[in-house]
Amino acid sequence: MSVHAVESPQAPDPVLQAKTDLCAALRLAVHHDLEEGIDNHFTVTVPGCTDRYLVLPFGLHWSEARVSDLIVFNELGETLEGSGMVELSAQCIHAPIHRITGARVVLHTHQTWALSLNLLADNRLVPACQTAAFLDGRIAYDDDYQGTADSLEEGERLARILGDKPVLFMKNHGVLVASDSMARAYQLLYLLERVCRTQILAMGTGRALQPIDREVIARVQAPDSGDRHRGQRDFLFFEAMKRVLDRVNPGYRD
């Protein structure tokens, strides 16, 4: 009787996984109308490194992002791997935020509904619905737009404002999300657009918003709130969205 060795499944290559998820997020942003063509930026720290970042080279549309297209750059804006260049504001905003906050993933957009709220003198997200309640106290606000980011000092300024919060509202500019995983970051970006749209639509009625009671917000945010999927929700969301992407715009894994 012969004995056959059973091979253990190989763990995924973390760099390839990071590249795949980055390209998926870029294409999903087009699918969800969160993008501006070739502008705005998604970056990921190269796994195993602290000072090298993955980005789609400037000039490619987000809908055509592929693993083989991605480049690696550093805070000086030098392309270390791949072909193409990092856009200046991506270098100046993202690299310092990665370095200072330790976030592995930084997503910055000018998505319509979040930007609409950030055009207002009072751009605060009101905890008047369940999603907004989850985000209450987790958003930092930059109320002093400085123009197009063309120096690392601007990214350092934004990083100081962001602190340990996952979301930055940038008045007159857009929104930024920082996280330790692409799944969590993209879900947050997606939910932000929906909750900003909800608030703008409600404000359009001309009637007062009704914030949720502070005690209820605390219960919603509590780790033991009874959400049996809380620890998996972002992962399950992103995996589902990638399955959608495999149907509507495959090819990002190439």
What SS3 class is residue 231? coil
Crossing angle (nearest 10°) for helices 182-203 and 14-31: 20
Q: What is the DSSP letter of 176?
A: E
In angstroms, rounded to a whole number, what is the distance separating the alpha carbons of residues 47 and 15? 6
User: Among residues of the chain, what percentage have pLDDT more than 90?
Assistant: 91
Task: Decide if 79 contacts 70 (C-beta within 8 A).
Answer: no
- The mean predicted confidence, pLDDT, of the chain is 94
By DSSP bridging, strand 79-81 and strand 105-109 are: unpaired
Cβ atoms of 169 and 139 closer than 8 Å:
yes
- Which residues fall within 8 angstroms of residue 175, CB to CB, at 6 or more apart? 108, 109, 111, 114, 115, 118, 167, 168, 169, 189, 192
pLDDT higher than threshold 50 for residue 2: no
Convert the pLDDT of each residue in 179-226 to its tens digit. Answer: 999 999 999 999 999 999 999 999 999 999 999 999 999 999 987 656
Instruction: Give pLDDT tens digits for 131-155.
Output: 999 999 999 999 999 999 999 999 9
- What's the rounded mean pLDDT across residues 169-178? 98
Domains and CATH numbers, the chain: 14-222+231-236 (3.40.225.10)
Ranges of beta strands (E only) in the chain are 41-45, 53-55, 71-73, 79-81, 105-109, 139-142, 167-170, 174-179
What is the C-alpha to C-alpha distance for residues 59 and 24, in angstroms, rounded to an integer? 18
